[in-house]
Chains A and B, each alone.
Chain A
Amino acid sequence: MTQSSSAAPVRDRPRAVGVEDVAALAVGAAIFGTGGGGAVYTPRIVAEQALQQFGSVPLVTVGDLGPDDLVMLMSGIGAPTVGVEMLSSAHQIDLLVREAEQVAGRPITTLMAAEIGGSNGVGPVGWASRLGLKVLDADGMGRAFPDAAMISMNVAGLSCDFAVLSDVVGNVSVLKTVDLHWLERHARALTVASGSICLGVHYPMTAETVRGAVVEGTVSAAIRVGHALLSSPEPVAAVARELGGEILLTGKIIDLDRRTEGGFARGSVTIAGTGEDRGRLQRLELQNENLVVLEDGEVLVSVPDNITIIDAETGHAITTEMLRYGQRVAVLAWAADPIWRTPRGLELTGPRAFGYDLPYVPFAGVPTAGATAGGAR
Chain B
Amino acid sequence: MSRELSIGVDVGGTNTDAVVIDETATVLAHTKQTTTDDVTGGIRASIAAVLAEIGEDREQVSRVMLGTTHATNAIVARRGLDRVAAIRLGAPASTEYPPLLGWPEDLSGLVLAGSAMVGGGHMVDGTPIAPLDIDGIRRFLDDLGSRDGGLDAVAVTGIFSPSQPEQELEVAELVRAHIGASTPVFLSQEIGPIGLLERENATLLNAALHSVARSVTDALVTVVAEEGLDATTFFAQNDGTLMSLDYAAQYPVLTIGSGPANSIRGAAHLSGTENGIVIDVGGTTSDLGVVVNGFPRESTLPREIGGVRTNFRMPDILSLGVGGGTTVDRATGAVGPGSVGYRIATEALLFGGDTPTLTDAATIAGASVVPGRTLPRQPPRVRTALVAGLERAHLLLADAVDRLSLGRADLPLVVVGGGAFLVPDDLPGAGPVVRPDHGGVANAVGAAISLAGGRADRLGPQEDREAAIAEASEEAIAKAIQAGADPLQVTVVDILETPVTYTDRPTLKVSVKAAGPLARLGERAEAR
Binding site for B on A (CB under 8 A): 41-42, 45-46, 49, 77-82, 84-93, 168-170, 188, 191-192, 195-197, 252, 254, 258-260, 263-265, 272, 274-275, 288, 321-322, 324-326, 328
Are B93 and A168 in contact, with the CB atoms below 8 A? yes
Are A88 and B94 in contact, with the CB atoms below 8 A? yes
Residue of A nearest to B406 (CB): A326
| Complex Cα–Cα for A45 and B97 (A) | 9
Are A196 and B124 in contact, with the CB atoms below 8 A? yes
Residue of A nearest to B300 (CB): A324
| Complex Cα–Cα for A89 and B95 (A) | 5
Q: Which of A84, A93, A263, A272 contacts B501 (CB 8 A)?
A: A263
Are B96 and A88 in contact, with the CB atoms below 8 A? yes
Query: Is B130 at the interface (CB under 8 A from chain A)?
Result: yes
Q: Which of B91, B125, B196, B502 contacts A191 (CB 8 A)?
A: B502
Given A195-B127, A260-B501, A263-B501, CB of A87 within 8 Å of CB of B399 = no
Are A86 and B101 in contact, with the CB atoms below 8 A? no
Across-interface contacts of B462 in A (CB, < 8 A): 260
Are B407 and A86 in contact, with the CB atoms below 8 A? no
Across-interface contacts of B160 in A (CB, < 8 A): 85-86
**Which residues from 195 to 221 on chain B have a C-beta closer than 8 Å to any C-beta of chain A?**
195-198
Q: Which of A79, A85, A90, A264 contacts B159 (CB 8 A)?
A: A85
Query: Is B369 at the interface (CB under 8 A from chain A)?
Result: no
| Complex Cα–Cα for A264 and B90 (A) | 27
Residue of A nearest to B302 (CB): A41
Query: Is B242 at the interface (CB under 8 A from chain A)?
Result: no
Query: Can you identify 16 A-B contacts, CB atoms within 8 angstroms?
Result: A79-B124, A79-B500, A84-B195, A84-B198, A85-B124, A85-B159, A86-B121, A90-B92, A91-B92, A196-B125, A196-B500, A259-B499, A260-B500, A260-B506, A288-B501, A328-B403
Interface residues as binary, B473-514 with A (CB distance below 8 Å gives 1, 0 otherwise): 000000000000000000000000011111110111100000
| Complex Cα–Cα for A328 and B506 (A) | 30
Binding site for A on B (CB under 8 A): 90-97, 101-102, 121, 123-125, 127, 129-130, 159-160, 194-198, 290, 300-302, 309, 399, 402-407, 462, 498-504, 506-509
Across-interface contacts of A197 in B (CB, < 8 A): 502
Most buried by A among B194, B399, B499: B499
Given A84-B195, A254-B407, A324-B300, CB of A77 within 8 Å of CB of B502 = yes
Across-interface contacts of A263 in B (CB, < 8 A): 501-503
Are B403 and A274 in contact, with the CB atoms below 8 A? yes
Q: Which of B194, B399, B499 contacts A85 (CB 8 A)?
A: B194
Are A46 and B501 in contact, with the CB atoms below 8 A? no
Are A81 and B96 in contact, with the CB atoms below 8 A? no
| Complex Cα–Cα for A345 and B93 (A) | 37
Most buried by A among B160, B300, B407: B407
Across-interface contacts of A91 in B (CB, < 8 A): 92, 95
| Complex Cα–Cα for A265 and B96 (A) | 27
| Complex Cα–Cα for A82 and B506 (A) | 13
| Complex Cα–Cα for A344 and B97 (A) | 40
Are B503 and A168 in contact, with the CB atoms below 8 A? no
Are B502 and A192 in contact, with the CB atoms below 8 A? yes
- Measured CB to CB, the closest approach of chain A to B86, in angstroms, equals 15
- Measured CB to CB, the closest approach of chain B to A305, in angstroms, equals 24
Given A81-B501, A89-B96, A90-B96, CB of A195 within 8 Å of CB of B196 = no
Across-interface contacts of B403 in A (CB, < 8 A): 252, 274, 326, 328
Are B96 and A82 in contact, with the CB atoms below 8 A? no
Are A168 and B502 in contact, with the CB atoms below 8 A? no
- Measured CB to CB, the closest approach of chain A to B296, in angstroms, equals 14
| Complex Cα–Cα for A59 and B70 (A) | 47
| Complex Cα–Cα for A275 and B195 (A) | 36
Most buried by A among B121, B124, B195: B124
Given A86-B90, A86-B123, A260-B462, CB of A322 within 8 Å of CB of B501 = no
| Extra pairs beyond A45-B102, A196-B123 (19, CB < 8 Å) | A80-B501, A81-B194, A81-B498, A81-B509, A82-B503, A84-B198, A86-B159, A87-B197, A88-B93, A89-B93, A169-B93, A195-B123, A195-B127, A195-B129, A196-B125, A254-B407, A263-B503, A321-B498, A324-B300
- Measured CB to CB, the closest approach of chain B to A90, in angstroms, equals 4
Across-interface contacts of B290 in A (CB, < 8 A): 326
Across-interface contacts of A170 in B (CB, < 8 A): 92
Residue of A nearest to B199 (CB): A85
- Measured CB to CB, the closest approach of chain B to A65, in angstroms, equals 28
Q: Which of B93, B130, B507 contacts A86 (CB 8 A)?
A: B93
- Measured CB to CB, the closest approach of chain B to A48, in angstroms, equals 8
Are B500 and A45 in contact, with the CB atoms below 8 A? no
Most buried by B among A84, A259, A275, A322: A84
Q: Which of B125, B129, B196 contacts A84 (CB 8 A)?
A: B196
Given A42-B197, A192-B503, A254-B406, CB of A89 within 8 Å of CB of B94 = yes
Q: Which of A87, A196, A260 contacts B97 (CB 8 A)?
A: A87
Residue of A nearest to B196 (CB): A85
- Measured CB to CB, the closest approach of chain A to B501, in angstroms, equals 5
Residue of B nearest to A261 (CB): B506
Most buried by A among B96, B499, B503: B96
Are A81 and B125 in contact, with the CB atoms below 8 A? no
Across-interface contacts of B402 in A (CB, < 8 A): 252, 274
Across-interface contacts of B300 in A (CB, < 8 A): 322, 324
Across-interface contacts of B508 in A (CB, < 8 A): 260
Across-interface contacts of A85 in B (CB, < 8 A): 124, 159-160, 194-196
Minimum-distance CB pairs A-B, first 9: A195-B123, A168-B93, A79-B502, A260-B499, A87-B94, A89-B92, A45-B102, A90-B95, A254-B407
- Measured CB to CB, the closest approach of chain A to B396, in angstroms, equals 12
| Complex Cα–Cα for A87 and B499 (A) | 19
Are B501 and A264 in contact, with the CB atoms below 8 A? yes
Given A87-B196, A188-B502, CB of A82 within 8 Å of CB of B124 = yes
